[in-house]
């Protein structure tokens, strides 16, 4: 018998939609709400000060559990709690008081990769990502290693790093539902008349921070801009002041760099349509929404061969994949596309085929809509 469900989405990010992870979570549950279910959100700013800041990754899971238990005791329990994997430990391991609430864990498949890279950065003497001391205890605390075996259901956005199905995380594979993110059809509509003869504007769409590969991208763009005086850069959704972005480049190049922040899908789509090439040299990702948007916009793509990028990019067919931390490879791939209009047209993104049994989000890339 079908009935309306009361669902809580708990993730330790801002309640608005500033980044790909939060936008994907909202996209999923917008469709769930459209089916008549009630969806509430518990986000970073809802938590007390003690569950925010540096120690939020440890305190937020306890806050989520206390919130759910308190409502259950008051007779207003949720039917389902969909909790983001890093915040899943307390509620998946300690079920007492949940009054039969079903727990679903959504994984973007990057948490262990973040930990590994943080430790690697510590060995290299590099700052950024997460501090080695904290990240050294992150996996057991975040929940995946210990809670995977107790997860009733898990959604995974990435196949390449679906840690729950890794032998180190002994969960029943039948409890893992793969999700393939997609982009809104407005991206295809706005970019319908793309001209592959033009190659003057490079798009970097993502938060301006180390995990997005900015330390590799900056030297690559400096070399490319020196060889191509007409080349310009757009940084979309950097999330920092434009002076911070431009300050990473020599003064002579700063006038060729434009920083854009958008909130409406149509404005974001227009920024993709105005670009000629897309580059994302991330150190780790789930399946990044910006990559889906670039694919929907038909942009030639250069990105790293890791995690979710390998899930959707067919080398030399729907994009070019480069190794991690390889500025030379980024330069070589972009040079190939800058110098050959035919390559720009033939390596543009195409709609991927539908995988059996998967949940799809988005419009054009979803091959017919969502399976929710």
CATH superfamily, domain at 6-180: Glycogen Phosphorylase B; (3.40.50.2000)
Residue 19 has pLDDT above 90, yes or no: no
Give me the chain's average pLDDT, please: 79
Residue 93 has pLDDT above 90, yes or no: no
For 312, what's the count of Cα atoms within 13 Å in the CB-facing half-sphere? 34
Domain boundaries, the chain: 6-180, 186-346
CATH superfamily, domain at 186-346: Glycogen Phosphorylase B; (3.40.50.2000)
Q: Residue 289: what pLDDT?
A: 86
254-279: burial string, b at 16+ Cβ within 10 Å, e else:
eebbbbbeeeebeebbbbbbbbbbbb
Residue 149 has pLDDT above 60, yes or no: no
CA max distance for the chain? 67
Residue 54 has pLDDT above 80, yes or no: no
Residue 142 neighbours by CB under 8 Å, 6+ apart:
57, 61, 85, 86, 87, 88, 89, 111
Q: Say how far apart CA 213 and CA 30 lie, in whole Å.
A: 31
Q: What is the pTM of this model?
A: 0.75
Q: Say how far apart CA 225 and CA 253 lie, in whole Å.
A: 8
Higher-scoring residue by pLDDT: 18, 89:
89
Q: If you average pLDDT over residues 168-181, what whole number do you get?
A: 62
Ordered DSSP codes for 296-339: HTT-BEEEESSHHHHHH--BTTTBEEE-TT-HHHHHHHHHHHHT
Q: Say how far apart CA 291 and CA 157 lie, in whole Å.
A: 13
β-bridge partners, 278:
203, 301
Q: If you average pLDDT over residues 100-105, what whole number do you get?
A: 87
Higher-scoring residue by pLDDT: 183, 192:
192
Q: Is 172 helix (H, G, I), strand (E, B) or coil?
A: coil
Q: If you average pLDDT over residues 242-266, what whole number do you get?
A: 96
pLDDT-derived band at 262 (thresholds 50, 70, 90) equals very high
Mean pLDDT is lowest, of 99-113, 241-255, 256-270, 358-372, for 358-372
Q: Residue 111: what pLDDT?
A: 58
Q: Say how far apart CA 333 and CA 335 lie, in whole Å.
A: 5
Q: Residue 281: what pLDDT?
A: 96
Q: Say how far apart CA 319 and CA 324 lie, in whole Å.
A: 16
Q: Say how far apart CA 326 and CA 217 lie, in whole Å.
A: 9
Q: Say how far apart CA 233 and CA 277 lie, in whole Å.
A: 10
């Amino acid at each position: 018998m079908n009935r309306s469900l009361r669902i809580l989405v708990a993730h330790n990010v801002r309640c608005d939609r500033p980044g790909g992870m939060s936008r994907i979570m909202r996209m999923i549950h917008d469709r769930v709400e459209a089916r008549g279910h009630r969806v509430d959100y518990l986000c970073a700013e809802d938590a007390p000060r003690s569950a925010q800041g540096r120690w939020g990754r440890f305190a937020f899971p306890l806050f989520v559990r206390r919130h759910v238990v308190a409502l259950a005791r008051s007779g207003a329990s949720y039917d389902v709690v969909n909790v983001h994997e890093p915040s899943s430990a307390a509620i998946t391991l300690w079920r007492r008081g949940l009054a039969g609430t079903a727990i679903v864990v959504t994984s973007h498949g990057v948490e262990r990769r973040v930990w590994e890279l943080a430790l690697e950065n510590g060995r290299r003497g590099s700052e950024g990502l997460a501090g080695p001391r904290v990240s050294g205890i992150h996996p057991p605390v975040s929940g995946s290693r210990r809670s995977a075996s107790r997860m009733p259901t898990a959604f995974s956005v990435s196949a390449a790093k679906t840690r729950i199905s890794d032998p180190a995380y002994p969960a029943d594979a039948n409890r893992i539902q793969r999700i393939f993110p997609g982009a809104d059809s407005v991206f295809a509509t706005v970019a319908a008349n793309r001209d592959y003869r033009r190659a003057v504007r490079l798009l970097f769409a993502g938060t301006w921070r180390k995990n997005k590969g900015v330390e590799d991208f900056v030297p690559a763009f400096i070399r490319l801009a020196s060889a191509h005086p007409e080349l310009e850069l757009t940084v979309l959704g950097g999330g920092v002041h434009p002076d911070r972005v431009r300050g990473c480049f020599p003064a002579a190049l700063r006038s060729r760099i434009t920083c854009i922040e958008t909130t409406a899908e149509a404005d974001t789509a227009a920024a993709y349509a105005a670009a000629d090439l897309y580059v994302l040299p991330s150190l780790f990702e789930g399946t990044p929404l910006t990559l889906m948007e670039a694919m929907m916009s038909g942009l030639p793509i250069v990105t790293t061969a890791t995690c979710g990028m390998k899930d959707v990019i067919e080398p030399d067919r729907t994009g070019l994949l480069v190794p991690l931390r390889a500025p030379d490879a980024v330069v070589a791939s972009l040079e190939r596309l800058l110098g050959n209009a035919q390559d720009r047209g033939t390596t543009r993104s195409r709609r991927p085929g539908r995988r059996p049994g998967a949940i799809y989000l988005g419009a054009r890339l979803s091959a017919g809509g969502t399976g929710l």
